[in-house]
Structure 1
């Protein structure tokens, strides 16, 4: 390839030769015209190539432009290669950008990017859901104009982002608890990370309630025991009084023992999330055990009717099934008045599901209490439950055992007439 200086020198030489020949044959004006024509040819050629370059540039198709000949071939070739490389780099950057956006969108946390003026540069769909934002509508809006919670505005104003901020009662249903924290990046920009901690807050509240309830349940029998012990230490009692006090202390100790046992049972059930094993549970034998335990607990104050209406047995964990059935029967005894009747029945329903139901003639339960009966320590009548020795954990245990056996606990009650508690097992757990 010839250099620019060589090409220019060659062009001048050709113009000189053409002017000399025209001067010798046609005169000086012809010589000037000949020199101008020689010099104009590459100028016209360059103009044509520039016009072509403009045309393909406007159409964004420089890389597909046909290559001319001569000096412009090298220029167009290098330009095409440069444009092609730039487009590949841009495409690679766009793909990487799209991957980052997809990753941010897939995040379970809300992400909001703020500029140096706290204006929204970008946010993912989770953040839109948390705060009721719309990125297309709210882009470049100051976030404190859109989220007007005083604690959040103060958090942005103080610029002390070392600690997170908890916002409660957020969202359209005002039922979300959000933990957010701003992280500086770039040129005075901030990344706002938002996490839904609603379940954690609920679990923490349940833990506090659980500790408070256990403490409350334990305090009464411990107080009674300590009172009797102090009385026996400070007074000279006869044997009849001592026996009476010992019997009362034993009753309170037995109550604490039952509470601890139920707590351990509930803890084991909550820690074991696997389905119960498929072991055959002999229903007639189980019903006989339940009847003996019920009669011992009732001490002749109730009439019982234990029925096995189906010859089918149940597949599950026998110890857990006995505990669930026993809790339902013992609850019926505790909450039914003397001379009341209690019916326990095992049968198959019309679609082949196994059902164990316990029906009592007790005072019944108002409808507003039914949805909360399986909560730990929830009682409709606290005083009566304590008088009859209940721990407040029986139905919570039944619910967890039912979940382990893919069963449903169904509660039906009419105030003044009685209640029916039914455990409904799927057909897969019923065997002939």
Structure 2
């Protein structure tokens, strides 16, 4: 029955009940005592109604306070309707709680069955609020260690990363506190204003596979160096015979041999960088480095481009000179290779808004489609395979550049518009300014 109908019926029942009660009581009082009896009957009925109302109110309060499930009330009038409505609301509330508890149990079972570790961590203190079984196993926690502090579990300084709360920057290859030689990837997700959700993923197998792949590439590349050197030497010896019939063939073989040699050297360089966790550092003069890069660009361009040095920074960059030069040189050579004759190339150093230093290379070349920019640092990835092979690229330059920058806590930013050109920017933090 709708609430409005129930309420209207309850009031109608109450008025009728009160009318009959007062009519019968007043008639009986007048019969026994005229006006005095009438007044006594009215007073007695009113007092009884008040007592009855308070008794009903007390019973309702006891029902609201008690956790006991009472049977459905049966009554007439306003008090009966009130008890029925409270009973219905109580039942709906219990059913809602039961559904929420069931959903919560389902979520906790699902979280407990996840192959990744899941932790709810306080943003202010770093203490664990909740963790699933996988997280306990990964962190070496016992059932009574729920109040452990996240920052004290890891040897790595993860407090700054956790406090920053950047969900787009996971913390990769962190040593596991539970098992020597194991590594974890940490992902931070927004959860509540007070807590953060931390996902742990075991990256030990992937790290080992990556190491095996890197070792395999390094070993194969190293083994290729000797036969390539022998082939290149014999080609030079044959070239000295000055045989016109073989001149074109020898020239093409030397070109391909030289290209293969560059590829092997890049693979060895990349494998070496992947195995490094840090590099020897010293102050690097940006003016001297810029002079060297301009000379290399001019030699590679041979007057086909307008190469210009810009930027207002003249100081020192703290890093590994050989690797920094290699990374910047790759960007400059790419700009020269992929810019048509008559195009312009600009390079220089400038301070960025974060207080760090940017090295940038801008060109007016072919440009790169937006959907391919994210893949440029992949090994052997080429926007145009035919154009890259024609221009002599190995497909490893940007990958080497990315690894060098990672070892210097820097990042590679790429902006490009097809048909207009590209800008490659190496962004170093302020701590790299010597």
The TM-score with structure 2 as length reference comes to 0.47
**Could you say which structure has the larger radius of gyration?**
1
TM score, norm. by length of structure 1: 0.48
